Every structure is written in C-alpha cells, then in structure tokens.
A and B are shown apart, each in its own frame.
Chain A
C-alpha cells in the first residue's frame, strides 16, 4: 500500500460523498442512486477484491458517521459490494462491468434498507423494492462514466497495485 494510493483513496472517497450529498441524491431523488457505492464497485472491478473491500469499508463507515443511522450499516453493505464486484470482474468489456456494478449496487441498496428497517432507522422497504430497478440503472450509468476514468487512474505508475501478479495470472490462465 503506497502513500499515493492512500491519498488517492481519501480524495476519491471525499469527492464521492460530497457529490452524492449535494448533486446526485437531490437530482436522483427518490431513486436511491449512490455514487460512493458505484465508486467502490468500479474500484473493485478494476483492482480486485482486497482493494474493493478495504475501500468499501472505509467509504461506508465515513458515510455512516456522516448520517443519522447507526454506524456500520453502509460499511457492511459496501464491503459486500467491493467483495462481489472484485470477484465478478471481467476487466475487458466496459459495458459488462458497468452492468455488474449497477446490479450489485442496486442489491446493496436493498440490503442497506433492510438493515435500516431492522435497526429502526428512516427507510421504507416498499420504496426500496419499487425503486431497486431504476436505481440499479442509474448506478450502471454512473459506472459507465466512472470505469474508464478509474481504469486510467489505477494503471498509472504511481497508483498501480503493488502486487498485481496474482490476480492477473489467474485470469490469464483461466481464459488461456
């Protein structure tokens, strides 16, 4: 884990949360579209499960602490987003990856709402299920914009993963 990667992660996390609160959430309401969740998904798709999990947990916890519900709910859900997207990554087609990101983020938002209801925070399950598909489409659209950007950034010399060998090799071996 290099210093440049940590700095880039913090910058990305803050930007995503601020844009979500001031631009994406107001414009997309009442669809539960989430830019930070999409960023987690895209980073996991590009960089694999470990980075995805760590970034998802950190972003989720910050978002949790910045809102009313108990901390840990979004951390748990976005940890799952990082994990799933890391596992399902294809890394070649942009459109397939965007679809994966959209559907995983849509699932995560339903899961988060279930948890909100369990811990008695604001949120209605009926709304979450009604809006799950449009929200997933919105997420996929955001992912379509983010994937090329994140790919380019994470493949520069200073932000490259320190040990790219393992995941690249297995992918290479499986697809011949």
Chain B
C-alpha cells in the first residue's frame, strides 16, 4: 500500500468536491441540460456507427448461452404467440368498450396506430444497465419526447429525449416508475410499478378488486398513464393479499426488459386516447 503526497491528497479532495458540486447543480435545475443533451447526442451518433461494426458480434454473443437448445425456434414461437395474444387482447378490449363507444357516438378506433420501427443501438455508457436504451431513430424521423415504445407485442417504455438522429427510451420496468394498467378480465384499473428485471408489481386502485393468476394487463386509461392505452404490459404470475386488505400481484412482462432489440415507436396519438391516424397498424 502506497501513500499519497500532500499535493495528491489535495487534488483528490478537490476533484471530489467538484463532483459533488456537479451533482447538486444537476439536481437543482437545468444548469447542465445543454451539456447533457450535447454529449448524449454526440455519443448517440457514435453508437450508430459502432453498432454497425459490433452489432453482429453482440447478437452472436447474446445467442451463445442458448446455442444448441433450439432457443431461437422457441423464441420465434414465443414471439408469434405473444403477437397473437396481443391481437386477442385488442379484440377483447374492443368488445368490452364497443358498447360504451357506441353510446358515445365515437368511432371505435383503438387499433389505428402509426408505428415507426427502430433498432436498439446502445445501452447506458456508464455501468451495466441503467434502464435506458438508445434507439437509432430521432426527432428527424418524427419521434417526440414522451411517445410510447412497444416491441410489437408488449410495452417497452417511453421516449425520454429525442435528439436529431437518436432517442433515449426509459424502460417501463425501471425500478420505481409506475404504469397505469387495466386488468383485461375485470376491467379494474391500477398501478403497475416497475421492479427491474423481475417485471412489475400490480396494485389495483379498488382494494376489493379480484386479481387472479393468469390475468392479462394492458396499459390503462390515458389520464392516469403517460402511455398509449391498450398495449400489453404482462401476465399476472402470483397474487398476494396482505392483512390490511391490499392486493399485490407479481406481473411477468410481455416484453423482456433486458432483451430488447427491434422496437416500434407509437408516433401519433391525440390527447383523448383515441389514436389520430386511422387505418394502418
């Protein structure tokens, strides 16, 4: 073990103080917002370039642990299953709401979404996985802050920042953030809180609501949720009722939060929750 000289000790203390100043400045307000978005934009465009070179290697390495177990076939079938289930869910949801919609004289237009396909080109540059991913589509493609991102079957997250050529997505399963969700079987609404790699924990707003294993959750009404409604969140895996009567359900996510690759950004949705441009899906 060596020791520091006096000058080195002073330098270490100074750098630590500077770092703490940065943290306070950034927490206190938008003093560093421009620096953040500048560096993020620059790194984002570099990710696009790097992904061209290392992307194939990464996809190969991600496949190594499951090589030989016919995992790719299983994954493909799983994806197909999820897509079909998603379609059934959309149909169920439409059936349930069509009565109300008819009464309200509104067109049942729950499926007309304009989707922009995008590919994940980078995770966080810091350490491991900080629950954000970088996409290779940006504001020049029509992506705006706050838009919902799906992987075709389930909810992935929402756009945090859209730079010109890339955008940063906060994953829905990010520990601590909540998604307004609706139980498809009963129509009860509640909050699904992210638990990281474990998925979500769902708590219905009505304490007497019955949640069963196997119930499917979709994103809820737009007022309570910053997401487009009707997108698959996950399936209830276990239900726990605590002594004070509250119900908590563990939810297995439809879109795996740590294995996203090809995704789609939901481009157009008006504030009322019906989606603006009809026709295409």
Q: Which A residues fall within an 8 A CB radius of B?
A: 14, 17-23, 25-34, 36-37, 48-50, 53-54, 57, 60-76, 79, 83, 86-89, 108-109, 112, 115-116, 119-124, 127, 131, 135, 166-167, 170-171
Contacts and interface: CB of A to CB of B under 8 A. Distances in A.
Contacts of A37: 127
Nearest to B175: A124
B21 interface: yes
A53 B11 contact: yes
Interface of B: 1-5, 8, 11-12, 15-16, 18-23, 25-27, 32, 35-36, 38-40, 43, 46-47, 50-51, 54-55, 57-58, 61-62, 120-132, 134, 160, 168, 170, 174-177, 195-197, 258-259
Given A74-B126, A75-B19, A86-B2, 16 more contacts: A18-B50, A21-B43, A22-B50, A27-B58, A30-B196, A31-B128, A37-B127, A53-B11, A65-B32, A66-B126, A72-B22, A75-B18, A76-B19, A87-B1, A109-B127, A112-B126
A1 B122 CA distance: 33
6 contacts: A57-B19, A70-B27, A75-B22, A89-B2, A124-B176, A171-B2
A32 B1 contact: no
A34 B128 contact: yes
B20 to A, nearest CB: 7
Contacts of A50: 8, 11
Contact of A53 (B15, B23, B26, B126): B15
Contact of A123 (B19, B35, B130): B130
B196 A124 contact: yes
Contact of A20 (B25, B39, B125, B177): B125
B262 to A, nearest CB: 13
Given A30-B258, A63-B125, A83-B12, A72 B20 contact: yes
Contact of B22 (A54, A61, A108): A61
B62 A53 contact: no
A18 B46 contact: yes
A28 B5 CA distance: 38
B46 A30 contact: no
A112 B128 CA distance: 11
B27 A122 contact: no
Contacts of A70: 22-23, 26-27
Contacts of B196: 30, 124, 127
Nearest to A174: B2
B34 to A, nearest CB: 10
Contacts of A18: 43, 46-47, 50, 125
- Per CB-CB distance, the 5 closest pairs between chain A and chain B, nearest first, are A32-B128, A72-B22, A70-B26, A34-B127, A65-B39
B124 to A, nearest CB: 5
